[in-house]
Structure 1
Amino acid sequence: MARTTKRRLPTPAQVEEAETQIREYSRTVKFTVTEYSFEFIVQKLNSDRYYVPDYQRNLIWKPKDQSRFIESVFMGLPIPFVFFWQDLDGRMEIVDGSQRLRTIRDFMADKLTLRGLEALPAANGLRFSDLPYSRRLIFAESSIRVIILDNATDALTRTEMFTRINTGGTTANEAEVRRGSLPGPFMDLIIDLANSPEFVALTPISKALIDQREREELVTRFFAYLESFDASLADGEGDIPGYKEEPRLFYFKFVQEMNELISAEIEQSGKSTTSDQMRTEFRRMLEFVQAVSPNGFTKTITGNQVPRVRFESIAVGSALALRADPGLLQRAPDITQLLESEPFKDATKSDAANVKSKLLGRIRLFRDWLAER
């Protein structure tokens, strides 16, 4: 007989906190619902009044996927809502549904030849102009339901919605979303450091991961954890306040705040001391890792992947140790013993990687081991 686990009842304080979070978040999402014809939407796309944000531009359905969507329209199947956000210029950013809308536009422009249709196989090989005039009119007048987010909806809420409701079959990863929705001086710094020769040499990864901006993801995590780490908390062990095992939101808010801080410094004095310090600290960390780790951030000398948990432990742990004792850079202790130890292997397992206790554990382990040297 299966053993049942008794549910731990929530406390009144937990229920109250949950209600507060729900109430506060729901206030940030205001929208209207309307309906537009295909022809109307295509006109707006062609005039650039409706536009695809940068982080979605490379997300394009394959011809077979496009054909199957057009087939669904012919069959009269319901089309999911499209989400727009009206920017401050009055233009509409497509938050979700860009691939459907681009498919409709391409089909009506004769840029798509139908293929792989199963329910309507006789339509394989046809283009829009091959259809009878009456069918073309019916298609053009077909409608799609649209939800328009109020322009007061912030970037965090929009990208959170894109991540949760995306119905396009292929989605942008978190690094791409941040890059496209959070342009600014700190994002520029992340991109620059991610492509620096020193960092590339220490992070040998596949082309697929490079295309997915994995190095930008690693640099973002490094700064988000390092700059948020408060060594005075947790009885001197250090803590990352604000991190609640929601890494995507944590990184997003951090990048947003750093963009604003660095922009303010540049506007005030023409340069950013924060940006300069971060660049210096990142390069110092790389110099240290190159000196103490035979394989950089990889497990073996021929390794071609950098596990995020391993990178976070080595990079953030090293940077914190260097902050406390800059002389470590000159002493450059061999960390092979630590890397091969059971505590390190256990701390850098990928299971429950985003749990706060695990994150702090792998960072503190590396920092404390170096502090004893």
Structure 2
Amino acid sequence: MPNLELLEEKEETTFFEEDEDQANGLESSRAKRLSELDEIAGIVVAGTDWTTATVLDQLVRGNIQLNPRFQRRDAWNITRKSRFIESIILGFPIPQIVLASNEKERGKFIVLDGKQRLLTILQFYGKSETPNNKFSLKDLEFRPELNGCTHEDLENNLLSAEILDPLDNQTIRTTLIRNWHTDNFLYKIFLRLNVESTPLSPQELRQALHPGEFVNFLDDQSVKSQALRKILKSKNPDFRMRDVELLLRYVAFHYFLSEYRGNLKAFLDMTCEVLNKSWKKRTDDVHYAVSQFEKAVETTIDIFGEKNFSRMWLGTSKVYRRQFNRAILDVMVFYFSDGLIREAAEKNKTAVENAFKELCSSSENGFREAVEGTTKNIRETHIRLSLWGYALLGVLDLEFNLPELVDNRIIFNGLR
């Protein structure tokens, strides 16, 4: 019988990793670095040894902000969850939890590291509204006699005090960061904490720092999106929140391309802030735009095939690169979200695919570098959008506007 978990992991979409320098502001000027050092000097980092019971209480009261939207993005299987609970019972050392004070809500904390551990505690104690709530312990190494037991089972067994007391009273090292002033500072800590573990999308932190109705909509829509399920080859929400970020990238370039200044993180943050504030006025329009994203992805798949869409064509090898490329998806949905362009492309599938292959095969036009190098600066963003637009104009019997580059700024007032 094949291991379904291993098969699912094998099928997971591999992303081409873009150069992150532009996104995370690592090319700081000396003055900026000095300012950041001043901020670091002003923060307060304190360690505390909360017990499991205290951590659970903080979670239940909502002081540690592990909201239901995150809880459905469950990355650990039951075996991993069970062995984490076993480690607490046995008093084994476990990684620390890192929290930052929420400067907007006194007494509440944003999780920088440890969400899956916190979610596991919440689920085992039966305080989460998720499919894995009240899970039964499984595949324990040192206490196999507890396999099959839930927390409720242990509570109802008078002989289980030797298990529950150590579980409730075990200390979990927790680091609290206070007196921070900029989102960018927390992003850098977040990325530094995760550099040696499973890479997490900064989108997870973005949603904690910029909550609002638009961000909630984006999260909900990413769960419903059939297009994103096909991109990620998964039936479940992505625990790294790459699905939300892909959709956010589309919305940001769709509405605010002319506001892009080469820092993708700041651009996506700004999109969340603006649309959160104007959500009531723009709800219908954003809903429509996102519905066009679904159709744009379907058209892209229809033309290139589900295996190859949004991947680089390697002309010398006459194959598509295996990794999924976010920058290529950006340009595809930018144009195919327009109904007329989409309709014309679907009538000329072979010509459109050949135009893309020719664009990728050229060593002189700069397209390859614009989707696989430092992809986030203004020049490369303009190059890939404009070159793919020109390629489409060349094979479609249709006229539409292209982004222009003026004084290192992208000028764009819509396709029509």
TM-score (norm 2): 0.57
Matches within 5 A, 1:13-24: 16=30, 19-20=33-34, 22-23=36-37
Structure 2 CA distance for aligned equivalents of residues 208 and 83 of structure 1: 29
Match of 1:362 among 359, 384, 407: 384
Residue aligning to 2:175: 147
CA shift at 1:92, angstroms? 3.9
CA shift at 1:208, angstroms? 1.1
Matches within 5 A, 1:1-373: 16=30, 19-20=33-34, 22-23=36-37, 26=40, 30-58=44-72, 59=74, 61-87=76-102, 88-104=105-121, 111=134, 113-118=136-141, 120=142, 124-125=146-147, 128=154, 133=161, 136-150=164-178, 158=186, 161-162=189-190, 164-165=192-193, 173=201, 178=206, 182-187=210-215, 190=218, 205=231, 208=234, 211-212=237-238, 216-230=244-258, 240-243=260-263, 247=264, 249-259=265-275, 261-262=277-278, 271-272=281-282, 296-298=299-301, 300=303, 302-303=305-306, 306-307=309-310, 308-316=326-334, 336-341=350-355, 342-346=357-361, 347=367, 351-352=372-373, 354=375, 356=377, 358-370=380-392
Structure 1 residues 367, 140: closer, same or farther in 2, change over 3 A?
Answer: same
Structure 2 CA distance for aligned equivalents of residues 189 and 345 of structure 1: 35
SS at match of 1:72: helix
Structure 2 CA distance for aligned equivalents of residues 21 and 206 of structure 1: 39
SS at match of 2:50: strand
**Is the 8 Å Cα contact of residues 204 and 305 (structure 1) preserved in structure 2?**
no
SS at match of 1:354: coil
CA shift at 1:47, angstroms? 4.2
Query: What are structure 2's unaligned runs of at least 5 residues?
Result: 1-26, 127-132, 311-325, 362-366, 400-416
**Is the 8 Å Cα contact of residues 300 and 309 (structure 2) preserved in structure 1?**
yes
Structure 2 CA distance for aligned equivalents of residues 114 and 280 of structure 1: 45
SS at match of 1:99: helix
SS at match of 1:241: coil
User: Residue by residue, what CA displacement relative to the aligned partner does 1:183-203 show, whole Å, maximum 9, x if unpaired?
Assistant: 43443665688799xx96899
TM-score (norm 1): 0.63
Letter in 2 for 1:117: L
Choose 1 or 2 for highest CA Rg.
Answer: 1
**Is the 8 Å Cα contact of residues 299 and 336 (structure 2) preserved in structure 1?**
no
Letter in 1 for 2:171: S
Structure 1 CA distance for aligned equivalents of residues 75 and 383 of structure 2: 40
Query: What are structure 1's unaligned runs of at least 5 residues?
Result: 1-12, 231-238
Structure 1 residues 158, 252: closer, same or farther in 2, change over 3 A?
Answer: farther
Say which is worse superposed, 69-78 or 200-209, in terms of deviation.
200-209
Letter in 1 for 2:269: K
Structure 1 residues 316, 45: closer, same or farther in 2, change over 3 A?
Answer: closer
**Is the 8 Å Cα contact of residues 36 and 144 (structure 1) preserved in structure 2?**
yes
Residue aligning to 1:8: none
SS at match of 1:361: helix
Letter in 2 for 1:16: R
Note the aligned Cα RMSD (angstroms): 5.0
Structure 1 residues 359, 195: closer, same or farther in 2, change over 3 A?
Answer: same
How many pairs were matched up? 328
**Is the 8 Å Cα contact of residues 89 and 163 (structure 2) preserved in structure 1?**
no
SS at match of 1:297: helix
**Is the 8 Å Cα contact of residues 203 and 306 (structure 1) preserved in structure 2?**
no
User: Residue by residue, what CA displacement relative to the aligned partner does 1:213-246 show, whole Å, maximum 9, x if unpaired?
Assistant: 766544321232344544xxxxxxxx94233xxx
**Is the 8 Å Cα contact of residues 227 and 294 (structure 2) preserved in structure 1?**
no
Structure 1 CA distance for aligned equivalents of residues 374 and 199 of structure 2: 22
Structure 2 CA distance for aligned equivalents of residues 229 and 367 of structure 1: 15
Query: Percent same amino acid at aligned positions?
Result: 18
